[in-house]
Chains A and B, each alone.
Chain A
Amino acid sequence: MKREFIKGNDAIAKAALLAGCTQYYGYPITPSSEIIHTVARVFPKAGASFVQAESELAAINMVYGAATTGQRIMTASSSPGISLKQEGVSYMASAELPCVVVDIMRAGPGLGNIWPEQSDYDQVVKGGGHGSYKTPVLAPNCPQEMCDHTILAFELADKYRTPVYVLADAYMGQVMEPVTFPSEVAKVEKKDWALYADKDSKHNLVTSIQMNTIEMEKVNIRLQKKYQEIVANEVRFEEYCMDDAEMALVSYGIASRISRSVVDELRETGLKVGLLRPITLYPFPTLRIQELSKRIKVFAAIELSNGQMVDDVKLAVNGACPVEYYGRMGGAVPTHEEVVSQVKGFYKLYLA
């Protein structure tokens, strides 16, 4: 175990090597660039490979090619770059190729700015490319989780043969905190589907095309079954002060850090507020929210977008109780006082 005071972005790059990642393909973009900087510095030293691609589109397609070889492959970017990568992610979902895609979200739409937003939720959590696919999405809220989730993402990617996202915001990428790294490199098994450019594997085929509709439907059905399995096995979330809570905040990433402080303050004033933090955004903790909605009087999603995750909260609650939303956009991060005041308002509205 090695402890470092380290930026979230740097922790991701280092964790990737410890996860057994052998290759990184990427294109720089603020606020994710420390990932590619650190990769460029440490990957070649470790005997792993790094290519600075000509575009995000090229990078994700390099990932596609490299992933066919059964090795652990990663790319990272930030929102505008993720929009470009969606083509490749759709192809990889269809061809069932594992990889890890890191998105350090910034403000949009368009070029937006480099400050934190969580407005890639829809394009990442809902399968942002074409076709009926999903990808597991992990949402770290501290550099330690940037490390842990990167390693977990590689495990899930191999386990389910799917691209897996680590979805964080600009502040999670930039913030420095203590991180304890594992002291061993993860073992990567040989895959029976991969192309090793040898006699034994040469009859393997990586494809996403099936001209026959019934055959293509079979591919889709297989994918949907896989997603059901992921939903059944991989939901992760964290609860804070939820045991006796009457109001539940739901938030992830930087918003969950603010929400946690808000819960602390409101608890001191006697308000029964708790926090449910989804760690996997896909699969979403739907069942848990459903269960909670039997006793929780009001949910409030706090997120840095126009209200994207709140839709999933509403679907889970399914009308059982009110669901409110508070968020900021454009890279503006809500202040502690601002959220306190909003949450108090909701509390008063439904619980006074």
Chain B
Amino acid sequence: MGKILQKPTGFYDKFVRKPGTYDQVTHYCPGCGHGRIHKLIAEAMQNLEIGDQTVFISPVGCSVFAYYYFDCGNIQSAHGRAPAVGTGVARSNPHAITISYQGDGDLGAIGTSEIIHAANRGERMTIIFVNNGIYGMTGGQMAPTTLPGQITSTTPYGRDAATTGLPMKMCEIISQLDAPVYVERTAVTDAKGIMKTKRAITKALKSQKEGYGFSFVEILSACPIGWKMSANDSIKRIEEEMIPYFPLKTFKDEIADRTPRPVVPVAPSQEDVLKALGHDQKEEILFKNDKKFIDDFTTQKVRIAGFGGQGVLMAGTTLGMLGMELGLDVTWLPSYGPEMRGGTANCHVVLSNKEVGSPVVESPNVLIAMNEPSLVEFEPSVTPGGLVIVNSSVVVGKCKRSDVTVLEIPMTEIADSCGLKAAANMASISAYLAFSKVIEKDQLVTLIKAKFKKKSLIEQNVAVIEAAYKYVSDHVRG
């Protein structure tokens, strides 16, 4: 007999975290199911020898103080969020036995999203869902599991299903998902119910210990104070009213059909990090530091615009990267987000020998217009004396400004003639460099050869650069 009455080692010997004088009893009310369920968990922790690796999460509700009792790692969390918190624990410490102990308001109302998604991901976690059909701690309000007609402090005339819906059946919902391995509903009523609950809890925790993902145990439990009933009548109510609505059964048990998942600790090594970042290779210095070039450089404010797919943004990054490699200060600012969905793209590029202030190019001294709408939109912003480079393969209209230099270059045709229509963007940069001479064309070619990601297309891109450069030399300067 003495052995049976012994406190399981899953509990602290004395509840020193609990305020007040009584460190041997729990804070739960007489007849409350939490005390029983706590004991069953503590026993399972002892029997499975998982006390050291268990992390117990207690969100808002009467069981928020579970950390007074359980001799394991303890986390108190926000209302409804325990499955998300548990996800963080389980992903960080995959060897942990993570228990999320939640009430019905917590799991079935405010935390519906978190429980569904943690279950759907099959997190390494055991959910103990205590369903007493009421908000116990907060003052006996309606829970998502409150039965029709039940009187609570927010359903003083009884729960009206027509306006508040019917009680949520969480086991039924969770068991529809593929990932959970084990879903069961029990009740802590008589000795038989308690033993069944103990088996369910043990099964869930054992399967977690062995590496089988997500389990969900719902336990119908009494709240005599919230229900305004005696402890005995509360048990009777579970049997007569709750169980008919919330049937006790195994909703899902696929433990035998699944393969345990290995525990892989999260521990990135320095080597792995540098490799993943692409920082493990020695940096290639493309150009010698040319002080004269930098000192003489005139700040370039470039706006490049066109259709999505014309490589507008990449033309900008190429220019920026080239500037960086040559020792200039450079910025590139793209159009982004939903703005891109309309099929147009533009970017701002600044190249300077001084620290660039704002990266926003309000008045470019160079505009590259790859399509008609871009010319129309940005032409007025070009500074007087600036340069407007138009892709004449696409743009039919003419630049109306008389105070800027206009270069009409059939960029798409040039690119096409080199077998790579998509490289019109390279033709645009090449034409810009050919006319302005701000950076040498060969430096652009060196950059492309060294940094271009699609190695198979380097040759064609270089051909486009050469052809566009020649076009400007022949037609504009020649």
Contacts and interface: CB of A to CB of B under 8 A. Distances in A.
Contacts of A67: 88
Contacts of B339: 114
Interface string B367-379: 0000000000000
Interface stretch (A16-24, A277-285, A318-326, A341-349): A16-24
A205 B17 contact: yes
Contact of B276 (A42, A114, A174, A333): A42
B34 interface: no
B96 A30 contact: no
A87 interface: yes
Interface in B204-261: none
Given A23-B91, A62-B88, A207-B67, A71 B266 contact: yes
A197 B270 contact: no
B275 A46 contact: yes
A302 to B, nearest CB: 11
B75 A207 contact: yes
Nearest to A197: B96
Interface in B90-139: 90-93, 95-97, 113-114, 116-117, 121
Interface in B265-283: 266-270, 272-279, 283
B317 interface: yes
B320 interface: yes
Contact of B277 (A18, A171, A206, A211): A18
A102 interface: no
B84 A195 contact: no
B332 A175 contact: yes
Given A48-B266, A174-B334, A260-B357, A53 B75 contact: no
Given A22-B267, A66-B88, A171-B359, A87 B78 contact: yes
A65 interface: yes
Given A46-B273, A46-B276, A202-B51, A65 B78 contact: no
B337 interface: yes
A87 to B, nearest CB: 6
B54 interface: yes
A202 B358 CA distance: 52
A259 to B, nearest CB: 8
Contacts of A65: 57, 75, 77, 84-90, 92
A202 B72 contact: yes
A159 interface: no
Contact of A51 (B87, B89, B356): B87
Interface stretch (A149-157, A176-184, A288-296): A176-184
A134 B369 CA distance: 48
Contacts of B329: 178
Contacts of A207: 67, 74-76
B55 interface: yes
B93 A206 contact: no
Given A114-B336, A171-B333, A68 B95 contact: no
A22 B320 contact: no
A221 interface: no
Given A61-B78, A65-B85, A91-B78, A195 B73 contact: yes
A190 interface: no
Interface string A193-228: 001111101111111110110010000000000000
Interface in B434-456: none
A30 B86 CA distance: 27
A175 B283 contact: no
Given A2-B283, A63-B88, A65-B92, A174 B336 contact: yes
A260 B114 CA distance: 46
B171 interface: no
A267 interface: no
Contacts of A49: 91-92, 266
- Looking at A5, A30, A57, A260, the one whose CB has the most chain B CB atoms below 10 A away is A5
B114 A58 contact: yes
B404 interface: no
B266 A47 contact: yes
Given A174-B333, A335-B362, A46 B277 contact: yes
Contacts of A2: 277-279, 283
B268 A48 contact: yes
A206 to B, nearest CB: 5
Contacts of B276: 17, 42-43, 45-46
A47 B272 contact: yes
Interface residues of B, number: 73
Interface string A1-32: 11101000000001001100011010000110
A69 B116 CA distance: 24
Interface residues of A, number: 81
B87 A62 contact: yes
B92 A25 contact: no
Interface string B323-349: 010000111111011110000000000
B270 A185 contact: yes
A54 interface: yes
B55 A197 contact: yes
Contact of A68 (B64, B78, B88, B330): B88
A184 to B, nearest CB: 7
A59 B458 CA distance: 42
Contacts of A198: 52-53
B289 to A, nearest CB: 14
Contacts of B184: none
B117 A5 contact: no
Contacts of A69: 88-89, 92-93
B423 interface: no
B71 interface: yes
Contacts of B321: 5
- Looking at B84, B267, B334, the one whose CB has the most chain A CB atoms below 10 A away is B84
B359 A23 contact: no
A146 interface: no
B81 A196 contact: no
Nearest to A2: B279
Given A69-B93, A181-B277, A3 B51 contact: no
Given A23-B266, A207-B67, A261-B357, A177 B85 contact: no
B71 A206 contact: no
A254 B360 CA distance: 9
A53 B52 contact: no
B75 A206 contact: yes
A8 to B, nearest CB: 10
B92 A23 contact: yes
Contacts of A205: 17, 67, 74-76
Contacts of A229: none
22 contacts: A5-B321, A18-B273, A46-B277, A48-B273, A53-B87, A54-B117, A61-B81, A64-B77, A65-B75, A65-B84, A71-B92, A73-B88, A177-B332, A197-B96, A198-B52, A202-B73, A205-B74, A206-B75, A212-B19, A257-B356, A257-B359, A335-B360
Given A2-B278, A23-B88, A65-B75, 10 more contacts: A53-B117, A58-B84, A65-B57, A65-B77, A65-B86, A65-B92, A73-B92, A175-B332, A197-B73, A206-B76
> What are the 4 A-B residue pairs with the smallest beta carbon separation, nearest first?
A65-B88, A261-B357, A66-B88, A197-B96
